[in-house]
Structure 1
């Protein structure tokens, strides 16, 4: 026969409830201990001083003696001297230079006409009368004929330098020369990639024939002319 226990006297019946109540009590005591403040009485007297809201300082009145102003300087009046009368001055009469009916007309043959200072050198593109290449005397457009005859002269006298062929040199040589007042060729200047090509270009230009010189207002002048010569290996 097993013994029976009364459920009201069970020890573990309210264990969770007791645990929660105990935990809450401990937390409450801990909070009270941490927040507990103790005040101690002191015998130190704290001095109190009444400070007015506005401080009004009384400025002492002082009397300062200023220096006397400087006395104005009195200048003596200027002395007026009376100069003696000058001698009688004869005034010259300026006559008008404007012509009138009595003005004598000067003969036009007595007037010296200044000569027009024409430049000695006129560019080929702006000269009035271009130099005439032999064979272009009867052509109407002598400027175009001149350039065409220059191209024919270059093709006729062109020789590729052997040194330039062996070295594989090619390129453009720019040449500038001057057609003198007597129609001769002078002042040849060239610029190219190599001396061999420049020398051949100078040789071609030196073989140009004598031309009729260019004229500006009927007066022979020097005419510079520029042309490129291209050297190209086949």
Structure 2
């Protein structure tokens, strides 16, 4: 290769340095371009120009003064203070002593008369002293068991399956609750079952119960609630 005529003017001599300087300048310009920020111009100077003028000549509301009455004068203190006499009679309270007195006569329990008040609250069938007597159980040894048996016989004897639930295939238990009154009649019948027709049939069966001998507590007739389920089952 033929050497150059002017070696000092060889442009390729420092090309590496020029490339590095150019690269640094490009990076600096790129950084400045990314970090360059611009802001919107504010118009604070123009806000005051668009504000409507306030009419300073407008009349202000008048000042109203209220006439406040002067405070009442202080009560005069009398020179001599008279003490009022209490003419009410003095009632003395007698406090009974709690100490025992040997002269006091102590009564025996048997000497105190006992008044048997009639019991008006219902007594459950399971705890009553004398259970209601179902007709036919007068001579039974266990009147509770006889009552249950006669009740079941009464239900089987008067049982009829309603036609509508029979056709629709409705079955289930109807829980019945009623009260055997003081005169032995049946009252306050309540029912709960899966169908209104089954409930009506169960009420009809309970209403056919005969008059019973009422239950007694302490020898007095009382009301006795009784509950029993009536089962309607399709074969």
Distance 1:195 1:170 in 2: 11
Check the 8 A contact 2:118/2:220 in 1, yes or no: no
Check the 8 A contact 2:134/2:150 in 1, yes or no: yes
1:144 is paired with a residue whose SS is helix
Deviation at 1:170, TM superposition (A): 0.7
Question: In the alignment, does 2:193 pair up with 1:192?
Answer: yes
Report the CA distance shift for 1:96/1:163 in structure 2 as closer, same or farther (over 3 A): closer
Report the CA distance shift for 1:97/1:190 in structure 2 as closer, same or farther (over 3 A): same
Q: What does residue 178 of structure 2 align with?
A: 177
Task: Note the residue ranges of structure 1 that are not aligned, 5 or more in a row.
Answer: 1-91
Distance 1:94 1:178 in 2: 50
Deviation at 1:95, TM superposition (A): 7.0
* CA shift digits 1:124-158 (9 cap, x unpaired): 11111110000000001000000000000000000
Q: What does residue 99 of structure 1 align with?
A: 101
Structure label with greater radius of gyration: 1
Deviation at 1:118, TM superposition (A): 3.7
Report the CA distance shift for 1:106/1:126 in structure 2 as closer, same or farther (over 3 A): closer
Q: What does residue 212 of structure 2 align with?
A: 211
Report the CA distance shift for 1:206/1:94 in structure 2 as closer, same or farther (over 3 A): closer
1:151 is paired with a residue whose SS is helix
Q: What does residue 167 of structure 1 align with?
A: 168
Q: What does residue 83 of structure 1 align with?
A: none
Report the CA distance shift for 1:184/1:105 in structure 2 as closer, same or farther (over 3 A): same
The within-5 A match list for 1:134-173 is 134-173=135-174
| 4+ residue runs over 4 A deviation | 92-97, 102-117
Q: What does residue 88 of structure 2 align with?
A: none
Distance 1:201 1:177 in 2: 12
Q: TM-score, length-normalised on structure 2?
A: 0.54
1:138 is paired with a residue whose SS is coil
Aligned length: 142
